[in-house]
């Protein structure tokens, strides 16, 4: 696959990190952020890049739900092809790369989820795993958003998920994982006056002892499959 690199040039891309996730516990979202969810928000079990997703921003001191395309388009982009969307930003360089540094300072968001998927390479096969909190609770990815205007004048709002080094639970599956924010960290991430050094401290591996993972079927490989059957563990007995 070809994609824009973080510097805006075209480069070969490798395997994506956090290329799929789920969000089906909508009641917890509404309660956690004290919001009314818009009608387009539905339970999702296999959310994929380029699709529209729910994100949370702060507006006049209150949380607000917004609809973003997953795959950030830098504001300075001349034109964009679907394969060029930037779905992830590396925590280590997010404040320096041209595609992300302005959003990192001014346009941060939360992307609520209740699980995500990674693929473990075993020989010639890749086996999918579901990764979640042990208590099955809601969490949020650290996200960035951007506004892009097409040459025809159409406005597109897009976002990316920030990734960091994998914790001990995720490491056997992938060497990186999404940056997960919990509790007061979510408030701090959306704080408009936050300084770069404080924000960067939030982008650390989530504690492995609070998470669990299990192998699921290859049903998740197709984005056409978006039902609760995806969550079922593979029977390895």
Q: What's the N-to-C CA distance of the chain in angstroms?
A: 37
Q: Residue 1 corresponds to which tokens in the numbers above?
A: 């696959």
The catalytically annotated residue of 6, 12, 92, 118 is: 118
Q: Residue 145 corresponds to which tokens in the numbers above?
A: 């958003």
Rounded CA-CA distance 201/1 in Å is 32
Q: Tell me if residue 109 is catalytic.
A: no
H or E segment and range at residue 34 = none
Q: Residue 101 corresponds to which tokens in the numbers above?
A: 């540094």
Q: Tell me if residue 118 is catalytic.
A: yes
Give yes or no for a contact between 181 and 140, defined as CB atoms under 8 angstroms apart.
yes
The catalytically annotated residue of 18, 109, 146, 159 is: 18
For the chain, list the strands marked E by DSSP.
Answer: 2-4, 10-12, 20-23, 44-47, 52-59, 62-70, 88-90, 108-113, 115-122, 125-133, 139-149, 155-165, 176-178, 180-181, 211-215
Q: Sign of dihedral through CA atoms 99, 104, 109, 112?
A: positive
Catalytic machinery residues: 18, 118
């Amino acid at each position: 696959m070809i994609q824009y690199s973080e510097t805006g040039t075209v480069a070969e891309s490798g395997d994506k990190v956090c290329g799929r996730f789920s969000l089906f516990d909508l009641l917890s979202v509404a309660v956690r952020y004290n919001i009314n969810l818009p009608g387009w928000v539905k339970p999702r079990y296999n959310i994929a890049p380029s699709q529209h997703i729910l994100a949370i921003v702060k507006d006049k001191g209150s949380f607000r739900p917004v609809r973003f395309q997953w795959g950030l388009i830098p504001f300075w982009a001349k034109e964009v092809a679907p394969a060029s969307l930037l779905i992830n930003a590396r925590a280590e360089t997010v404040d320096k790369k041209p595609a992300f540094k302005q959003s990192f300072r001014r346009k941060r968001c939360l992307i609520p989820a209740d699980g995500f998927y990674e693929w473990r390479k075993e020989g010639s096969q890749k086996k999918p795993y579901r990764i979640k909190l042990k208590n099955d609770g809601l969490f949020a990815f650290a996200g960035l958003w951007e506004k892009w205007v097409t040459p025809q004048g159409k406005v597109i709002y897009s976002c990316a998920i920030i990734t960091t080094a994998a914790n001990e639970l995720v490491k056997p599956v992938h060497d990186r994982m999404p940056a997960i924010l919990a509790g007061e960290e979510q408030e701090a991430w959306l704080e408009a006056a936050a300084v770069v050094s404080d924000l960067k401290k939030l982008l650390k591996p989530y504690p492995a002892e609070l998470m669990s993972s299990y192998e699921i079927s290859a049903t998740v490989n197709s984005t056409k499959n978006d039902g609760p059957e995806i969550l079922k563990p593979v029977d390895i007995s």
